[in-house]
Structure 1
Amino acid sequence: MAKQSQVKARRKLINPVFHLQTKQEDDGQLTTGMIKVVRKTGQLNLSGRGLASVPKGMFKMYETGGSESVKHFDMSKGTDDPWWTFQPLTYMDISSNVLVDIPPEIKMFEDLTVLNLQDNCLSKLPSEIGALTKLTRLNLSHNKIESLPMDFYRLTELQQLNLSHNSLSVVDVGFVDLVMLQTLDLAHNQLTQLPSGIGYLVRLTDLNLAHNQLTELPTDISNIRALLKLDVTHNNLRRLPNLGELRKLQVLYAQHNDIEELPGFEGCENLQELYFGNNFIKDVEADFCESMSLLKILDLRDNKIEFLPDQIAMLQHIIRMDLTNNELASLPNSLGLLSHLQNLQIEGNKFKQIRQDLIKGGTLRLLKHLRDKMIADEKKLNVNGTNAINQEVRVFPDKYMMKNSRALNLTQKELTQVPENVFEDAAAAEVHIVDISKNKLTDVPNGLSCLSAEISELNMSINRIKELPEFVGSFSRLQYLDLGKNNFSDLPATLGQLRYLRELVLSYNFFTAIPSCVYELENLEILLVSDNQIAKIDAVGLKRLKRLATLDFSNNNIDSVPFELGNVKQLRCLELKGNSFKLPRYAILEQGTESVLSYLRDRIPT
């Protein structure tokens, strides 16, 4: 019964008919209790209160009585909250109301760092907003703003700016002065062009230009070297400029445009997701495949593609590929070499040699069909034309396969050894990815040394290897090394010579400490050492890894976490669960990496 009465009480608060509040009702939304909270915390939240105008009391919150301001406060009168305890207003949220304008008095809140005005009815901003020079986050989305005052560009400390879902048709060149911006959202406007000089926003990591009327992007967009994500979906773009300088770019959305050819991506070594669906692309060039070594998702659905090159097999990390509704008549057999491909969509094409039951039978069945067809074709090309294809060919790929994929893939072959001539052929094919994981190897094949000049990725996980040979230190271009799930307990000192190594996986081995050579890997970004027997954390050694962002120590024998680990401030992901230490407590670990590091730093003896 009590629960039913509570529900009825809540229902009484709901007014099914929209009522535009009077100015007096708006003023009544800012209560004395709220003002006290603002004075103590420096935060004001008037979100979702149906405000048609800004309460006038908002601009008097820091007065102590009558017309006296804080600065002229008379201490002899006495008050519950004396002026010297007031916190300056740094956070203001008046979103989800029906405000049509912001009073010029907004300029008095010059200490604001966060201002949320989203979901109102604003068509313009007062020029006085330019006085809020400490703003770092500003949300103006879901309004009716048609233009920005010139004083707006005085907000040079802005780091996050959201102007999506407005009516902007022009962005002034003054935008280039907002050089501290890290995220910029201009989606769902009416922009036809971007200002030249946008490349000066060199700190941008996320740029959203979706749902506009852009016909081209300025060429200097490639100067935004920190960009991780770019969204230009639903525009009128016919081409994209060369994006090769965006070396940190990870995700590009470009669906629903008029793009006729893929742009240059050579140099985009971190690109992982590409979305070009619903365009007019006709060709996938071999050069494109050669520059996409880390790509995991490729969406080319609803285009005009007629042909895929054999070099498509060079996309060795691809997990999902969508080729739906194109004009393909066949698929290259080399697609069957993509061992990580889990989802291949090819419906809606004009295939002549691929049966419908194969298309509908799933990705694994289709890839097996292509691999079998490749072997059959090689058999026909046999010079003698009499012998059945050698069993060894089925296990070890030939130069042709490796040349197309630039990879030596021997995963899950039940191998106990690999002949040296296989690596010699791989070197001749200029292979730079080697995967010998999930076998029964007890030693690292000596022939691997043939690839020291080219190899960039090496996966030896899930074997029975105990020792890493010293020649691994000669792999000068190696960026990724996976030694997980083996029998390692130590690593050679020469490993420290791998200056370009970015990711090292040592999980599920028998390490009792991180080998000292690891602390010499100056470009290491990811270090995974979970599920070992590590007892101590060397915070001094880890601090030498200036680029280390991900560190996994979970499921080891660590009995205490050194407070000095908190000084490794560049960490973005730290895993410590599954160890026996008492501090920090589990509740602190659950709050995330920043909280853990802050907790540790606060306890460093001074």
Structure 2
Amino acid sequence: MSRYKGIKSKIVHSDLNPVFHLQTKEFDAKELSPHLIKLARRSGQLNLSGRGLGTAPEKIWEINDLDEAEIRLLDVKLDRDTEGDRWWEYEPLHQLDLSSNCLTQISSKIQNLSTLTTLNLQDNGLESLPSEIGNLERLAKLNLNYNKLTDLPNEFFQLRELKSLSLSHNLLEDLPSEGIGDLNMLETLDISYNKLTAVPPGVGFLTRLKQLSMSHNDINDVPPDIGNLRVLQVLDLGYNKLTTLPPLGELRKLEMLYVQHNLLSSTPDLVGCIGLKEAHLSDNSIKAIQPEVLENLPHLKVLNLRDNKLDTLPDEVSCLRALIRLDLANNTLTTLPSSLGLLPHLQALQVEGNPLRGVRSDIVRCGTIRLLRYLRERWQSEGNALDGEDEHSILPGGPPDHSASNFPDRYNIIRGGKILSLANKNLTTVPAEVFEEAKAADVNSIDLSRNIISDIPTGIFSLGQTLKELNLASNRLSAVPSALGLSCPHLQFLDLQKNFIVTLPMEFSSLTSLRELIIAFNKMKNIPSCVKQLPALEILIARDNQITEIDLEILNGPKFLATLDISNNDIHVVPPELGLMEKLRCLELSGNPFRVPRHSVLSKGTPAILSYLRDRIAH
């Protein structure tokens, strides 16, 4: 295939040189300049990404060795004041980036780079790999996304030190079961967007695997030995042809499950998945939910069941005490269980598109808060009483009494020895003694929601080294101190919704473990700049603020952002480049004054919105 590279045109003796010239190996070789070689030998890193290369410069494969001319130029004097190259300062190449070029093949001489630990070949036109790639015994991270690979050489599976392997957007139809099982150091495996029809049985041998993505294939079967992946945290099987799944109860550390857009007729057997936080089951043919599944998911925060065939919802849904988002849209539900109103943390309940007869349509249109209030009132009118935890977490508290002696003792405040819950107590502050007891009990979760607190209690900062979850929703906060970001580096969940907060301090960029940030129903006019510096962020809920623009520079910071809710703001333009955020699983944009995308596109769900936006990008 011919490739041309643009150069400036010049007039010489009235002759016009061509603006484009054919790119040859000679021109490719010039991209690896002596200056780049010198930098690579000093740092051990070489970046030739986006150079339009059709062939990799031959010098790359010999970069760890000096030719005769280079040896003659070496300054072998021990004088530190000289500016020449010093052989003792050379670093063997351990990172090579050849991504976003036009490479169709890789030389067998790649075996010379035996010191490589990171190799990026994504976004090329590779149709095959040389068998010699198996000689890169130290390789730990390999990116082959966006190529044209149809198979892998047997020697590929000799890369026994691989921890991260990315093969998405290729043409793979199968992976050898014996080979894939040999890569037993893998922690991350992405083989999404291929043509696989089955999960290789050898995947069950990858016992160190934490993230497994096989979405957008033609997979119709999952072997039972997937239950061997005892440390798996993320399992993505969305957009396949699965009709059933084996029991997943052995995956006790599983946190994220994606099986949307399949052919499932029932919910997967998740009994035992006690760590599960999100389950995405939309766009299937699920007719019923097994009550025992709902009874055994104590940490589930997001449950997406939209676009299925559910006609009933079990009362056991009230067991999902940690649930924040429940999407039941576009099913065949005729009623909702009153017990839904007992869920203390439920913030978003979507039921549109159901033939509900037990709930008036005007109540549904009023939104989640009104609907939950109606369900609670119906629960009580049915003769049920709110007792124990339900009463404290839902009904308004009595007159405030803030003396430490009148606080519940540690066995009431610290449930299970890890959670400090003082929600809905009419508190304006919390005595320092309470946090001292919480620290002694190794508390890692604090709930101070639904109080009248205007300043965050400083006692929280004393738990900073153990604190993982903090709920300050529905208070009277107008600002958040920078000390919260500096003192709580292990925070994973932060709920600040329904306050009067205008922005977040830049010191929040220290929250490198934060996975979920809820800032809905505040006074923010922009997405906080600190969001750009939150590498682990997966969920951002910023609905019902006064946000005027979608700042892509900020949103592209978190590389794993999967849920973005910026509905009900003041956004007039949706940039088409938002469609390039392919990690997004849930995008909420409704309730803003923009004209495009139209409601007809928004109603089709996230994949349709992202596809529409990508189509609008000017080529």
TM-score range, shorter chain: 0.5 to 0.7
Match of 2:401 among 423, 426, 442: 442
| 1:257 counterpart = 2:265 | no
Do 2:344 and 2:394's aligned partners in 1 also have CA atoms closer than 8 Å? no
- How far apart are 1:82 and its partner, in Å? 2.8
Query: Relative to structure 1, is the Cα distance of residues 524 and 268 closer, same or farther in structure 2, using a 3 angstrom cutoff?
Result: farther
Do 1:474 and 1:497's aligned partners in 2 also have CA atoms closer than 8 Å? no
Query: Relative to structure 1, is the Cα distance of residues 310 and 18 closer, same or farther in structure 2, using a 3 angstrom cutoff?
Result: farther
Query: Relative to structure 1, is the Cα distance of residues 306 and 513 closer, same or farther in structure 2, using a 3 angstrom cutoff?
Result: closer
| 1:149 counterpart = 2:153 | yes
* SS of residue paired to 1:197: helix
- How far apart, in 2, do the equivalents of 1:473 and 1:339 lie? 17
| 1:323 counterpart = 2:262 | no
Greater CA deviation, 266-275 or 86-95? 266-275
* SS of residue paired to 2:274: coil
| Deviations 1:494-548, CA, capped at 9 Å, x for gaps | 868858x54357994465995xxx89x9x9866999999x9xx9x9xx9xxxxx9
Letter of the 1:329 counterpart: T
Match of 1:119 among 116, 123, 129: 123
- Alignment map for 1:129-144 (pairs within 5 Å): 129-144=133-148
Alignment-derived partner of residue 205 in structure 2: 200
Query: Relative to structure 1, is the Cα distance of residues 300 and 23 closer, same or farther in structure 2, using a 3 angstrom cutoff?
Result: same
Match of 1:302 among 296, 300, 307: 307
| Deviations 1:214-257, CA, capped at 9 Å, x for gaps | 11212121221222211111111111221122222111111110
Alignment-derived partner of residue 248 in structure 2: 243
Alignment-derived partner of residue 488 in structure 1: 431
Query: Relative to structure 1, is the Cα distance of residues 330 and 476 closer, same or farther in structure 2, using a 3 angstrom cutoff?
Result: closer
Match of 2:93 among 89, 95, 114: 89
* SS of residue paired to 1:327: coil
- Alignment map for 1:403-414 (pairs within 5 Å): 407-411=389-393, 413-414=395-396
* SS of residue paired to 1:181: coil
* SS of residue paired to 1:490: helix
Query: Relative to structure 1, is the Cα distance of residues 472 and 441 closer, same or farther in structure 2, using a 3 angstrom cutoff?
Result: farther
* SS of residue paired to 1:410: helix
Query: Relative to structure 1, is the Cα distance of residues 524 and 34 closer, same or farther in structure 2, using a 3 angstrom cutoff?
Result: closer
* SS of residue paired to 1:40: helix
- How far apart, in 1, do the equivalents of 2:292 and 2:401 lie? 38
* SS of residue paired to 2:60: helix
Alignment-derived partner of residue 365 in structure 2: 360
Do 1:143 and 1:166's aligned partners in 2 also have CA atoms closer than 8 Å? yes
* SS of residue paired to 2:420: strand
Query: Relative to structure 1, is the Cα distance of residues 483 and 551 closer, same or farther in structure 2, using a 3 angstrom cutoff?
Result: farther
Identity %: 38
> Which 5+ residue runs of structure 2 have no aligned equivalent?
1-5, 11-17, 449-454, 473-478, 494-510, 515-531, 537-619
- How far apart, in 1, do the equivalents of 2:447 and 2:223 lie? 40
Letter of the 1:487 counterpart: V
- How far apart, in 2, do the equivalents of 1:528 and 1:303 lie? 32
Do 1:473 and 1:494's aligned partners in 2 also have CA atoms closer than 8 Å? no
Match of 2:445 among 490, 503, 528: 503
Query: Relative to structure 1, is the Cα distance of residues 311 and 122 closer, same or farther in structure 2, using a 3 angstrom cutoff?
Result: same
Query: Relative to structure 1, is the Cα distance of residues 189 and 524 closer, same or farther in structure 2, using a 3 angstrom cutoff?
Result: same
| Deviations 1:59-106, CA, capped at 9 Å, x for gaps | 343444437879x98959x99213222111011111111111100111
| 1:108 counterpart = 2:120 | no
Do 2:100 and 2:124's aligned partners in 1 also have CA atoms closer than 8 Å? yes
* SS of residue paired to 1:174: helix
Greater CA deviation, 49-58 or 95-104? 49-58
Alignment-derived partner of residue 46 in structure 1: 48
- How far apart, in 2, do the equivalents of 1:160 and 1:230 lie? 15
Letter of the 1:218 counterpart: P
- How far apart are 1:491 and its partner, in Å? 5.0
Alignment-derived partner of residue 220 in structure 1: 225
Query: Relative to structure 1, is the Cα distance of residues 325 and 413 closer, same or farther in structure 2, using a 3 angstrom cutoff?
Result: closer
Do 1:466 and 1:488's aligned partners in 2 also have CA atoms closer than 8 Å? no
Do 1:470 and 1:492's aligned partners in 2 also have CA atoms closer than 8 Å? no
Do 1:473 and 1:498's aligned partners in 2 also have CA atoms closer than 8 Å? no
- How far apart are 1:476 and its partner, in Å? 7.8
- How far apart are 1:350 and its partner, in Å? 2.0
Match of 1:340 among 321, 326, 345: 345
| Deviations 1:251-301, CA, capped at 9 Å, x for gaps | 111111011111122222221211111101000122122112222211111
- How far apart, in 1, do the equivalents of 2:458 and 2:99 lie? 55
Query: Relative to structure 1, is the Cα distance of residues 320 and 213 closer, same or farther in structure 2, using a 3 angstrom cutoff?
Result: same
Query: Relative to structure 1, is the Cα distance of residues 328 and 525 closer, same or farther in structure 2, using a 3 angstrom cutoff?
Result: closer
Q: What is the root-mean-square deviation of aligned Cα atoms in Å?
A: 4.3
Do 1:505 and 1:528's aligned partners in 2 also have CA atoms closer than 8 Å? yes
Match of 2:188 among 183, 189, 194: 183
Greater CA deviation, 464-473 or 159-168? 464-473
Alignment-derived partner of residue 24 in structure 2: 22
- Alignment map for 1:339-488 (pairs within 5 Å): 339-378=344-383, 397-398=385-386, 407-411=389-393, 413-416=395-398, 440-442=399-401, 465=404, 472=411, 477-482=416-421, 486-488=429-431
- How far apart, in 2, do the equivalents of 1:171 and 1:591 lie? 37
- How far apart are 1:372 and its partner, in Å? 2.5
Match of 1:312 among 317, 323, 328: 317
* SS of residue paired to 2:349: strand
- How far apart are 1:132 and its partner, in Å? 1.1
Alignment-derived partner of residue 447 in structure 1: none
- Alignment map for 1:47-66 (pairs within 5 Å): 47-66=49-68
Letter of the 1:166 counterpart: N
- How far apart, in 2, do the equivalents of 1:130 and 1:51 lie? 24
- How far apart, in 1, do the equivalents of 2:460 and 2:290 lie? 49
- How far apart are 1:10 and its partner, in Å? 11
Normalising by the residue count of structure 1, what TM-score does the alignment of the two structures yield? 0.68
- How far apart, in 2, do the equivalents of 1:496 and 1:163 lie? 45
- How far apart are 1:465 and its partner, in Å? 4.7
Query: Relative to structure 1, is the Cα distance of residues 87 and 307 closer, same or farther in structure 2, using a 3 angstrom cutoff?
Result: same
- Alignment map for 1:1-40 (pairs within 5 Å): 21-40=23-42
Letter of the 1:503 counterpart: S
